[in-house]
Amino acid sequence: MIRTFAILLCAVFFCNASFAGGDANQLYEALRKKIFQVKDYQALVEMKIEVNYMRIPQLTGKLYFKSPDKMRLERTGGLSILPKKNINLTLSNLIPSGQVVVMDAGYAMLNGKKVRVMKIVPELDAGDIVLTKMWIDEESLLAMRTETTTRNDGTVIMEMQYAAYAQYALPDRVTIFMDLKDYKLPKGVTLDYNQSADLKPKKKTENQKGNIQIKYLKYEINKGLSDAVFNQKN
């Protein structure tokens, strides 16, 4: 009841801004429809993981995705260091599903471009997502940045760059920002590349923020991936 009342207050607060730049609900629904047109994909990727207390070689491999939430990374080399808690590497998993309240937060400048800012809140207390904030390029109908607050995994921030696959709302480059204090790295950190990483002991007082930079080299989209792909072990 309290949550519903808070959502209504927020909706009233932002209602005037929503009329200034067009209908926020229609913009969000158009963007969501564009994102969800991708039912599955596989992509060749290069990943760079930056953590302040260790140096990690670049990881290469193939990333598989199937809607709504199946994902698998097949490495061709590097370090298995992705947190045990789920980090979603695709935009469709970082926006709420089902009925939502869309709040228009006006405009902002992002990387020298004017973008529309919106806040999306699920209507029901279901699922892990509590709030998603999106910076949207209205002209190209693309999310350039998202900030998603979850119940279990804290806040995940993603910044996207688009080129060849913009018509599918699939980025060519993504940077994911995270706070590693909420995650557990594999015990001892799995070294399978001849001990080539420079590991330093982690101190409790040390800043534990990091980021994952992903470059998508080539997509194969909506080819009908089998569920068996996601049951295989790396």
Tokens of 31: 């963007």
Q: 58, 75 in Cβ contact below 8 A?
A: no
CA distance 162 to 172: 5
Sign of CA dihedral 110, 115, 116, 121: negative
Cross-strand bridge partners of residue 176: 158, 212
Residues in CB range of 120: below 8 A, 6 or more apart: 28, 95, 96, 100, 101, 102, 103, 131, 132, 133, 134
pLDDT at 5 over 60: no
* 174 pLDDT higher than 70: yes
Supply 24's token pair.
């926020």
Of 160, 134, 143, residue with least CA distance to 214 = 160
- Residue 208: the pLDDT is 64
Report yes or no: 67 and 39 within 8 Å, Cβ to Cβ. Answer: yes
Q: In the Cβ-directed half-sphere of 145, how many Cα atoms lie within 13 Å? A: 15
Question: Has this prediction a pTM greater than 0.75?
Answer: yes
Is the CB of residue 180 less than 8 Å from the CB of residue 210? yes
The whole-number pLDDT of residue 167 equals: 96
- pLDDT tens readout for residues 100-137: 999 999 999 999 999 999 999 988 776 788 899 999 99
Any idea where the domains of the chain sit in the sequence? 2-223
44: nearest Cα among 140, 160, 170, 156: 170
CATH 2.30.30 fits 2-223, yes or no: no
Q: pLDDT, tens digit, for every residue of 27-70?
A: 999 999 999 999 999 999 998 888 776 777 788 889 999 988 88
Confidence bin at 194 (pLDDT 50/70/90): very low
Least confident of 80-89, 164-173, 191-200: 191-200
Of the candidates 216, 230, 226, 110, the residue with the CA atom closest to the CA atom of residue 165: 216
What are the Cα distances from residue 116, in Å, to 5, 74, 82, 201? 25, 36, 32, 42
